[in-house]
Copies of this chain bind each other. A is one copy, B any other.
Amino acid sequence: MTDYFEVHARDGAARVGELRLESPRTTPALVDDVLEDAGSLWSADRDVPEGDESTLTVLPHRAFPGGTAPEVQESFAVDYPDVDYPSVAVVSSEHATDHGTDAYAVSDVQSITGHGAALVEAVVNTRKAIPADTALLFSGVATPRNVAVLAYAGVDCFDETAAVVKGMEGRYLTTDEAYFLEDLEDLPCSCPACQQPREEFTRKDCAEHNVNALEAELGIVRRRIRDGRLRDYVEGQARHDQWLTAAMRELDSQWGYLEERTPILRDAQINAATEDTIRRVEIQRFADRVTTRYRNRFSNPLVLVPCSATKPYSESQSHRQFHDAVQWRGHLVSMTSPIGVVPQELETTYPAQQYDTVVTGRWSEDEKGFVSSVLERYLERNEYPKIIAHVPDEGYRDIVERVEEALDLEIIYTVPEGGHPTDDESLANLSAALSGELKYAKREREHNTVRAIADYLLGDGAGDDLFTDIQTTSRYPKIQVRDREDTQLATMVPQYGTLSFTLEGAKRWVDSDAPTKRVEIDGFVPHGSVLAPGVVDADEEIRVGDEVIVEGPKAFGVGRAEMFGREMQSSTRGIACEIRHVEEK
């Protein structure tokens, strides 16, 4: 039972949480002033302390520093008592287990900090062993430079200690460096400690500055998590120390850990500013879904076009010009780095609508490789009577030609060498290449759009399983899906290109062959939110943002997940999902 910690917001592995002490504290945060250490059992026998709700008590512990042999860890392992106040267990990252406490302090922090792979392994190991709604404490390591990456990896609580120690050692910490104080001619900071003449600035002041800088950085981190944009921050911030970049990359390799914790949609921009963006869960997941779940339902030729900076693409000037030439005679698929390919039906889905990239017209080999492989997989799965590539030279044409060769296709290129897709000549070529093709109707377009989104969201074939016999009303992109009797089943949500089901839609979904994601609840009828304690079981496939079926002995409903599946299972606090519609059984 974690009575004293609750997760309020998630951004990948990072969370904004709340230490529910007498005066609550929002994490990631420094906890020096509320941490009470009952002491080490290495140096003395200790009583279990009284404890109280104003502090987080570190229960008597035997900490194993880095390098402690497994046998020693095993034989000296401590069983933590069950207490009724906020408590912390000390665990080694190599042998972490669930002790029923609210928080866990990692004993080998000094060994794992400074090494990307070690840090990631330690956090992932520990997080796997302890419940999702418990706080992870790293003592003695946080600095203004590393704390964003530590929080990004999934650490919740920190202390001033390293900042103070480094300050006393004469290191002036900023988010980018640990400057030698004696090298600084002036103090590049405006915190109170730095508001004095340089020559009067002591190491104690330096320590104070370091703590101020750390506090400020944690403020940025909390804001970024709330905004769903910590990763964007880390893609810049991590560059200031090699091991932090390594840590970010290693974490990207921990697909299972990170994917589970990454929402399927979010109201935040994705900055594609470095080569590491390609390895983001959101990007890889999109590419995966487009190439394994989505299926083209149009019988028209494929028209490959370049992406546009304006999102959704169809609102851009260039895509309007393409559209004027195509006139619903072709199936538009946009090529883009770092997303891959985006069929027109999915242009509003996350993150196709939310990413923003650096425009220089230069493609890296890795970008080309990634987009080529996505396009190749896409074309292996989807057959077209004709393929038209309406793309400029740089990057795009390269990629199309690679795939053309790899799959032995015949592709018509409509942009002359050196030309631009919006040139009159290019547009005329495009139109000519489609001459004689039939236009598809608005109805077909809309039906295919909601089916494609169903594929993308729910799984391969879901669009056909759910939406074979439908009618659509309202204007794109706010399409409403209705059955033949005019009963509404779902609505397309244009901000993220997702679907919101009605109760009737949910029932149809449950009855269909399409995979559902279910939250099993206790015998009550939820209104508004389902809290974690009310969850009996939840599919492990559930991700934050997923449409979920909520069912229990007394109720059937549909809503949106606010936790991932295993988090719902293991949490004892917090909102598991938000109910949209519910009915009593």
A→B interface (CB under 8 Å): 116-117, 174-176, 179, 183-192, 195, 212-213, 215-220, 222-223, 227, 232-233, 235-240, 242, 245-246, 249-250, 271, 273-276, 356-360, 362, 364-366, 368-369
Complex Cα–Cα for A349 and B104 (A):
48
Please state the number of chain copies in the assembly. Answer: 2
Complex Cα–Cα for A176 and B187 (A):
20
Complex Cα–Cα for A185 and B189 (A):
22
B184 engages A246 (CB within 8 Å): no
A216 engages B236 (CB within 8 Å): no
Q: Chain B residues near A213 (CB, 8 Å)?
A: 190
Complex Cα–Cα for A116 and B361 (A):
12
Enumerate 23 A-B pairs (CB-CB under 8 Å) in ascending A order.
A116-B360, A176-B237, A183-B223, A186-B219, A190-B216, A191-B191, A192-B192, A192-B195, A232-B239, A232-B240, A233-B240, A236-B237, A236-B239, A236-B240, A239-B274, A242-B357, A242-B359, A245-B273, A246-B360, A250-B360, A275-B366, A364-B365, A365-B365
B238 engages A236 (CB within 8 Å): yes
CB distance from A412 to the nearest CB of B (A): 28
Known: A360-B116, A366-B365. A239 touches B175 (CB 8 A): no
CB distance from A363 to the nearest CB of B (A): 10
CB distance from A146 to the nearest CB of B (A): 13
Complex Cα–Cα for A368 and B246 (A):
18
A242 engages B275 (CB within 8 Å): no
Complex Cα–Cα for A359 and B114 (A):
12
Complex Cα–Cα for A250 and B359 (A):
10
Complex Cα–Cα for A176 and B188 (A):
16
Complex Cα–Cα for A116 and B357 (A):
13
A190 engages B188 (CB within 8 Å): no
A274 engages B271 (CB within 8 Å): no
Q: Chain B residues near A235 (CB, 8 Å)?
A: 239
Q: A189-B219, A190-B215, A232-B239 are in contact. List 7 more A-B contacts (CB 8 A).
A: A176-B237, A188-B216, A236-B240, A239-B274, A242-B359, A246-B358, A275-B366
Known: A190-B212, A242-B271, A246-B359. A220 touches B366 (CB 8 A): no
Known: A236-B236, A369-B365. A174 touches B220 (CB 8 A): yes
Complex Cα–Cα for A276 and B274 (A):
8
Complex Cα–Cα for A195 and B539 (A):
46
Closest-by-CB residue of B relative to A237 is B236
Q: Chain B residues near A369 (CB, 8 Å)?
A: 365
A188 engages B223 (CB within 8 Å): yes
A239 engages B195 (CB within 8 Å): no
Report whether over half of chain A's contact residues are helix, strand or loop; otherwise say mixed.
helix
Q: Chain B residues near A236 (CB, 8 Å)?
A: 176, 236-240
* Top 9 A-B pairs, shortest CB-CB distance: A188-B219, A236-B239, A365-B365, A190-B212, A190-B191, A275-B275, A239-B273, A245-B358, A188-B220
Complex Cα–Cα for A550 and B184 (A):
34
Closest-by-CB residue of B relative to A276 is B274
A219 engages B273 (CB within 8 Å): no
Closest-by-CB residue of B relative to A279 is B362
Complex Cα–Cα for A227 and B362 (A):
30
A117 engages B360 (CB within 8 Å): yes
CB distance from A4 to the nearest CB of B (A): 21
Known: A192-B195, A360-B117, A366-B366. A187 touches B219 (CB 8 A): yes
A362 engages B249 (CB within 8 Å): yes
CB distance from A192 to the nearest CB of B (A): 6
Complex Cα–Cα for A373 and B79 (A):
59
Q: Chain B residues near A239 (CB, 8 Å)?
A: 232, 235-236, 239, 271, 273-274
A184 engages B223 (CB within 8 Å): yes
Complex Cα–Cα for A237 and B364 (A):
20
Q: Chain B residues near A273 (CB, 8 Å)?
A: 238-239, 242, 245
CB distance from A357 to the nearest CB of B (A): 7
Q: Chain B residues near A184 (CB, 8 Å)?
A: 223
Q: Chain B residues near A187 (CB, 8 Å)?
A: 219
CB distance from A542 to the nearest CB of B (A): 28
| CB-contact partner of A275 in B219, B222, B250, B364, under 8 A | B364
A220 engages B274 (CB within 8 Å): no
Complex Cα–Cα for A232 and B244 (A):
14
Q: Chain B residues near A276 (CB, 8 Å)?
A: 274
A179 engages B358 (CB within 8 Å): no
Complex Cα–Cα for A521 and B127 (A):
68
Complex Cα–Cα for A306 and B362 (A):
30
CB distance from A187 to the nearest CB of B (A): 7
Closest-by-CB residue of B relative to A188 is B219
Q: Chain B residues near A215 (CB, 8 Å)?
A: 190
Known: A236-B237, A274-B275, A275-B274. A242 touches B356 (CB 8 A): yes
CB distance from A226 to the nearest CB of B (A): 8
CB distance from A282 to the nearest CB of B (A): 17
Known: A239-B235, A360-B116, A360-B249. A179 touches B223 (CB 8 A): yes
Complex Cα–Cα for A183 and B224 (A):
11
Q: Chain B residues near A356 (CB, 8 Å)?
A: 242
Complex Cα–Cα for A276 and B220 (A):
26
| CB-contact partner of A216 in B185, B189, B271, B358, under 8 A | B189
Complex Cα–Cα for A184 and B186 (A):
30
Q: Chain B residues near A246 (CB, 8 Å)?
A: 358-360
Determine which residue in A217, A358, A359 has the highest number of CB atoms from chain B within 10 A of its CB, and name it: A358
